[in-house]
Amino acid sequence: MTTAATGPASPVGRRSGGRLRIHFTADDLARVRVAGGPDPMWETVLSMHLLRTQRGADAFSAWRQESRLRLGSSARLLQALNPPSGPFPDFLTPAPATTDLEAGVDAMLSTPRARVRAGVSALAGGSAARPWLRAVAETDLEAMKELGRLFRSYFATAVAPSWGDIAARVEVERRRLAQAFLDGGPVSVLTSVSATTRWSPPVLELAYPVDRELHLDGRGLLIIPSYFCWRYSVTLLDPALPPVLVYPQQTTLPRRSRFPNGSRGDRELSALLGFTRAAVLRALEAPCTTTELARRVGTSVASASQHAAVLRKAGLVTTIRQGVAVLHSPTALGAALLYPPAD
- d(CA 219, CA 22) in angstroms, rounded, equals 12
Global confidence as pTM:
0.74
Range scoring the smallest mean pLDDT among 36-40, 117-121, 167-171: 167-171
DSSP string, 161-176: GGHHHHHHHHHHHHHH
Does residue 151 surpass a pLDDT of 90?
yes
Provide the b/e sequence for 52-75 (b: ≥16 CB within 10 Å). bbebbeeebeebbeebeeebeeeb
The one-letter amino acid code at 163 reads W
- d(CA 133, CA 125) in angstroms, rounded, equals 10
Q: What are the structural domains of the chain?
A: 19-248 (no CATH), 264-338 (1.10.10.10)
Higher pLDDT, 4 or 155: 155
Does residue 126 surpass a pLDDT of 80?
no
What does the pLDDT average to over 1-17?
45
pLDDT confidence of residue 302 = 93
Provide the b/e sequence for 136-152 (b: ≥16 CB within 10 Å). bbebeeebbebbeebbb
What does the pLDDT average to over 50-58?
82
Residues found in the chain: 343
pLDDT confidence of residue 270 = 86
Q: What is the pLDDT of residues 294-315, one digit of tens each?
A: 988 999 999 999 999 999 999 8
